[in-house]
Amino acid sequence: MEKIKLEYGNIMRKREKGVFLLEKIKTAGKFLLSQWDYALFVLLLLGKVYYFSNVSGTLFTTLGPFAYAGEFVAWLFGGDSDRIFEGVLLISIGTILLGTFWLLLLYGRKRLFWMAITNLVLSFIILADTLYFRYFEDIISVTVLMQMRQVGDVGESIFALFRLSDALLMADVLLMAILWVVISRKKTAVTKPSGFAKVGTALLVLVLGWQLTTVPFNKSMEDGGAWQFNKLISNMRVYNFTGLLGFHSANITRYIDDNFINRKVYSEDEISESQDWFDGRNAERMPGPYSGMAEGKNVIVLQVEALQNFVLNREVNGEEITPNLNRLAQENLYFPNFYEQTALGRTSDAEFLLNTSLYPTAEGSAYMLYAENTYDALPSILKEQGYGTNVFHPYKASFWNRYIIYPQLGIDTFYSDDDFEEAEVIGWAINDEAMLDQSLEEMATFTEPFYSHIVTLTSHHPFEMPEELQLLNTEGYDGYQDRHFKNYLQSIHYVDQAIGKFVDGLEQKGMLDDTMLVIYGDHSTGMTANTKAFVEFTEAEDPLNYFETNKNVPLILHIPGAEPKTFSQVASQLDLAPTLVDVLGGDPAQHHFIGRNMWDAEGGRATFRDGSFITSELSFIASSDGIYDNGSCFWRMTGEAMGVEACEEPFKEGSKELQISDDVLRGDLLKKFER
């Protein structure tokens, strides 16, 4: 009897335990279910960022919801489902969770209130980005907000871009507000959820959000994205790795980091030391032989994508690669020893060198990183001399942040992709021939004098041309391992024709005699020592030749009335602004240019971002570890390797210039100099 009783008690206890556990699960389940409002809120926000991705034509995900769920589960169990990482879906969910998980700690009216506020803020950001994108093809960054004065001018047009569907982005905010008012009036008792359940759920969501944000982000960084993310080509490129909310937090973090946490504050002494350096440089300036010769003339600067000097005056199967540039070089002033100094900012760095005569930054594009700075820029200087200033470039205005920095540099009008009429697209944009033709037609209507900077694009890597425009006979070049070199020749041959037509057009319109024309290449082709054909063609087998060939771009100057002449001195993109100001009748010594007058045959030196340099006698190739002693110094005449001591003097001068330039940018020093 005793035994039976005991067993009965055991069973009862077990049963009670089971019931208790069941109760717990039920409460937990109930609690989770009661979070449906939060889940709905997350879904709504996800829908909104998806809306932005649709408007901006960017990739949200490549899979439909079911296929996605399938692949996701497969991935969770160790499957190799990389497609779930395509687009910004995962990171969008992750960042939404990170931004909102704290709402789970609240309940009842309080939660609804804060949910409505969060919704208002986030929805407003998404709406603002949507409208902004329609106009600028860009996301609103801190820099954009800082430059609101310029953006303000187009404010009206932005609102004209409002679509009825955009109202959906804000509709639920209104609903939430109404709901809140209704609930506030009713005095219903709400049961307080257990603190454990609240905190547990919030923590769970926080961890989930963190994982969904960092796993896809780290993955894309490892897959080669880090370079693009850090280089800051454009905000939209960053967005592709972070999603919309992620973009804003990365952008704000970077801004705070640069401007507050890691900001170098320059003392009065440092500022005046830097100013003294410029004074010293200006004291050395001498007027050149063409000083003032083009005063009052129009200026057209033709910056040609990836045009290098090695193609000039060279033939393939008996045919000139660049007959037009060869002719122009022969009939005008030609600098065969002109070097490009761009760094990570590629085309934008070449523009920056021309405009400011400062070095590009080592961290990324100055156009992106220092768009708010004060500059002593060529377009502004010419503006003061009565010039109308403009840029023609048939690509997205937001690329390289051009539309933001141009007003800062003194550019009045920027003709970007939408301002050109439709024409055959080659590579990234409408072809150079059409672009140059349309630009010329527009220039012919300008009040004189004008300054036009044209940035071409057809000969962009990978240099592919449509069959019918491959007009150079490259027979015999087909056998090479890769087609890059052959494509490059075809592409440059085509661009050369387009330039020829453009110059003929200027002549026919009677504009050439009133115009100073400047033609140069922006940077190297990106072909490396592995491109056998390129190395063979340029005889760049040894490191010195390879180095010099890659940095060498042509410079041709047409100054009305000047006799043709070839200048053998070393000059660089940094020297463009002071040289042009001098020829145009201004005084470069009144400005803050690091470059020199190109006519100074003795002092020519091209220093590159890593400290390497070329002078008429010496070439120094800096070592990638940054240690001076590990670099290589050459005597150029013979190609002989020297001890590094022989290169020390020009290296030090160049390094000083790089440091001055970096200080000017980091400390926005031009604003602080006493003028």
Find the shortest distance in angstroms from Cβ 117 to Mn ion.
46
- In the chain, DSSP finds a helix count (H) and a strand count (E) of 25, 19
Which of 347, 515, 579, 607 is catalytic? The answer is: 347
Q: How far is CA 98 from CA 102, 197, 212, 217, 618, in A?
A: 8, 18, 9, 14, 56
Binding characters for ligand GP9, 428-457, by CB under 6 A (x = yes): -----------------------------x
Alpha helix (H) residue ranges in 34-107: 36-55, 65-76, 89-100
591-594-599-603 Cα dihedral, nearest 10 degrees: 140
DSSP 109-137: HHHHHHHHHHHHHHHHHHHHHHHHHHHHS
Q: How far is CA 615 from CA 335, 347, 568, in A?
A: 14, 24, 11
Site for ligand GP9 in 364-403 (CB under 6 A): 395, 399-400
Find the shortest distance in angstroms from Cβ 346 to Mn ion.
5
Instruction: Mark the segment that binds Mn ion (CB under 5 A) among 65-73, 133-141, 344-352, 406-414.
Output: 344-352
Q: Binding site annotation covers 384?
A: no
Place of tokens 């067993």: 7
- 247 binds, options ligand GP9, Mn ion, none, Cβ within 5 to 8 A by partner type: none
Q: Measure the CA–CA gap between 458 and 498, rounded to whole angstroms.
A: 10
Nearer to Mn ion, 346 or 592 (CB): 346
- 136 binds, options Mn ion, ligand GP9, none, Cβ within 5 to 8 A by partner type: none
- 488 binds, options ligand GP9, Mn ion, none, Cβ within 5 to 8 A by partner type: none
Q: Measure the CA–CA gap between 455 and 446, rounded to whole angstroms.
A: 18
DSSP E strand boundaries for 326-395: 333-335, 338-339, 388-392
Residue of 463, 454, 455 lying closest to 486 (CA atoms): 463
Quick check: 305 binds Mn ion (CB under 5 A)?
Answer: yes
Instruction: Mark the segment that binds Mn ion (CB under 5 A) among 148-156, 299-307, 327-335, 475-483.
Output: 299-307
- 380 binds, options ligand GP9, Mn ion, none, Cβ within 5 to 8 A by partner type: none
Nearer to ligand GP9, 172 or 351 (CB): 351
Q: Binding site annotation covers 453?
A: no
162 three-class SS: coil
Nearer to ligand GP9, 395 or 546 (CB): 395
Quick check: 347 binds ligand GP9 (CB under 6 A)?
Answer: yes
- 395 binds, options ligand GP9, Mn ion, none, Cβ within 5 to 8 A by partner type: ligand GP9
- 231 binds, options Mn ion, ligand GP9, none, Cβ within 5 to 8 A by partner type: none
CB 470 within 8 A of CB 295: no
Find the shortest distance in angstroms from Cβ 141 to ligand GP9.
18
Does the active-site annotation cover 413? no
Quick check: 229 binds ligand GP9 (CB under 6 A)?
Answer: no
Quick check: 347 binds Mn ion (CB under 5 A)?
Answer: yes
Q: Measure the CA–CA gap between 148 and 155, rounded to whole angstroms.
A: 9
Residue of 141, 353, 162 lying closest to 237 (CA atoms): 141
Q: What value does the CA radius of gyration of the chain take, rounded to a whole number of Å?
A: 31
Quick check: 234 binds ligand GP9 (CB under 6 A)?
Answer: no
Quick check: 484 binds ligand GP9 (CB under 6 A)?
Answer: no
Nearer to ligand GP9, 492 or 559 (CB): 492
Give me 201's structure tokens: 């759920």
Find the shortest distance in angstroms from Cβ 399 to ligand GP9.
4
Instruction: Mark the segment that binds Mn ion (CB under 5 A) among 16-24, 249-257, 341-349, 617-625.
Output: 341-349
Binding characters for ligand GP9, 617-636, by CB under 6 A (x = yes): --------------------
Nearer to ligand GP9, 387 or 406 (CB): 406
DSSP 184-253: HHS----PPPPHHHHHHHHHHHHHHHHHHHHHHHHHHIIIIIHHHHHHTS-HHHHHHHHHHHHHHHHHHH
Find the shortest distance in angstroms from Cβ 455 to Mn ion.
8
Task: Tell me how many residues contact ligand GP9 (CB under 6 A).
Answer: 7
**Which of 111, 248, 346, 493: binder of ligand GP9 (CB under 6 A)?**
346
Instruction: Mark the segment that binds Mn ion (CB under 5 A) among 44-52, 340-348, 488-496, 503-511.
Output: 340-348
Binding characters for Mn ion, 514-533, by CB under 5 A (x = yes): --------x-----------
Find the shortest distance in angstroms from Cβ 609 to Mn ion.
16
Q: Binding site annotation covers 484?
A: no
Quick check: 460 binds ligand GP9 (CB under 6 A)?
Answer: yes
Q: Measure the CA–CA gap between 594 and 555, rounded to whole angstroms.
A: 19
Q: Measure the CA–CA gap between 274 and 663, rounded to whole angstroms.
A: 8
519 three-class SS: strand
Q: Measure the CA–CA gap between 566 and 333, rounded to whole angstroms.
A: 6
Task: Tell me how many residues contact Mn ion (CB under 5 A).
Answer: 4
Nearer to ligand GP9, 247 or 399 (CB): 399
Q: Binding site annotation covers 460?
A: yes
Nearer to Mn ion, 118 or 459 (CB): 459
- 651 binds, options ligand GP9, Mn ion, none, Cβ within 5 to 8 A by partner type: none
Cis peptide leading into residue 449 (ω within 30°):
yes
Quick check: 609 binds ligand GP9 (CB under 6 A)?
Answer: no
Find the shortest distance in angstroms from Cβ 495 to Mn ion.
12
Give me 117's structure tokens: 């506020």
Q: Which helix (H) or strand (E) segment is 149 a member of?
A: helix 148-152
Q: Measure the CA–CA gap between 424 and 432, rounded to whole angstroms.
A: 10
Nearer to Mn ion, 393 or 558 (CB): 393
Find the shortest distance in angstroms from Cβ 308 to Mn ion.
12
Quick check: 491 binds ligand GP9 (CB under 6 A)?
Answer: no
CB 281 within 8 A of CB 498: no
Find the shortest distance in angstroms from Cβ 506 to ligand GP9.
24
Find the shortest distance in angstroms from Cβ 395 to ligand GP9.
4
- 371 binds, options Mn ion, ligand GP9, none, Cβ within 5 to 8 A by partner type: none
CB 97 within 8 A of CB 209: yes
Q: How far is CA 400 from CA 236, 276, 378, 397, in A?
A: 10, 32, 19, 8
Give me the count of residues in the chain. Answer: 675
Q: Measure the CA–CA gap between 99 and 120, rounded to whole angstroms.
A: 13
Nearer to ligand GP9, 400 or 534 (CB): 400
**Binding region for Mn ion (CB under 5 A):** 305, 346-347, 522
Give me the active site residues, please. Answer: 347
**Binding region for ligand GP9 (CB under 6 A):** 346-347, 395, 399-400, 457, 460
The annotation places the binding site for Mn(2+) at 305, 347, 522-523
The annotation places the binding site for substrate at 460
